[in-house]
Structure 1
Amino acid sequence: MLKVNYDTGNAFLAGTDPYAGLRSVLPKLVHVHAKDIALTQAEAEKGKVTGTPVGCACGDGVINWQRVVSILRDGKYRGVLSVECGTSDQAMRSLVHLKGVLEEEVGTIKNERTLTGSPHNG
């Protein structure tokens, strides 16, 4: 059976909507590369495969990580979200940013459960 390893940054660079693409592969999704694309190079490189390093720390580029995490949550994704960056500094900044996004999402889930009276189901 075919499964998908989705890369947010590569989807953007391919000229597609990374959020619509993510939604479309959710049923087959097993792994997500968390890659952001630098604002300064995003439009110049979009739709091209040049090999030019255009990645940056997650949160410093064009990808809306709150939106990505929300799509993954709504799709009941339970797989890996791995940071893909060019330097260890970018990786550390990405981890800090994504940790904040995930903590915010957990807070949103807890608030929704409190408001609806839904029990915690793991």
Structure 2
Amino acid sequence: CIQAVIPAAREYDIVLGMENHYKDGFWKYPEFAQKADVFLKIVDAISERKHFGVQYDPSNAIVAGDDPLELLRRVADRVVSMHASDRYLAEGTTLDELRQNDGTLGYSPNLRHGVTGKGLNDYDTIFKILADNHYTGWISIEDGVNGLDEMQDSLTFLRRMSAKYFGEQ
């Protein structure tokens, strides 16, 4: 069905971005991408590059049990926008323990939201990969669960990273 909307994207000169989303505890609808292997099959099947790309979310890769850097390296030349957020593990929890009791992945109560740049995502490497691929798209904060102070800290961090890797904006 993505192929069916590409002509409209071309006609109206818009860019469609498919996110590496993963079904979490809040998402009650059938999932469309799942883990990286399925997501990559879908992205690779779409040859359009001007009007179709990837909405990259490193935290979703973690929730799916995938390596966010490996995924980014694989799609870096197709990233059209990025969600910036971070996750951290509750004290005493390991990444291997994030599987739910039913064997699925998703939002475990031991995986928490936090200030972007202070969690599990390696933003220095993420920004370097994006810069090396001449990224010019949006980086939007996807958080706010813990209030505006954390959102401000995330914004300050992302501005600093943008200046470091892309120059003053």
Q: Which category of TM-score, normalised to the shorter sequence, fits these structures?
A: 0.7 to 0.9
| Residue correspondence of structure 1 range 28-107 to structure 2 within 5 A | 28-40=78-90, 43=95, 44-45=97-98, 48-50=105-107, 52=109, 54-85=112-143, 86=145, 87-106=147-166
Structure 2 length as normaliser, TM-score? 0.55
Structure 1 length as normaliser, TM-score? 0.74
User: Aligned equivalents of 2:88 and 2:124: distance in 1?
Assistant: 17
Query: Cα distance 1:103–1:50, how it changes in 2: closer, same or farther (>3 A)?
Result: closer
User: Aligned equivalents of 1:42 and 1:33: distance in 2?
Assistant: 24
RMSD after superposition = 2.3
Deviations 1:66-96 (A, max 9, x none): 1111010011111111111123222111011
User: Aligned equivalents of 2:162 and 2:133: distance in 1?
Assistant: 15
- Of Structure 1 and Structure 2, the greater helix share is in 1
Runs of 4 or more consecutive aligned structure 1 residues displaced over 4 Å after TM superposition: none
Contact preservation (8 Å) 1:6, 1:22: yes
Counterpart residue number, 2:59 = 9
Identity %: 29
Q: Which consecutive residues of structure 1, in runs of 5 or more, have no partner in the other structure?
A: 108-122
Higher Rg of the two aligned structures: 2
Q: Which consecutive residues of structure 2, in runs of 5 or more, have no partner in the other structure?
A: 1-47
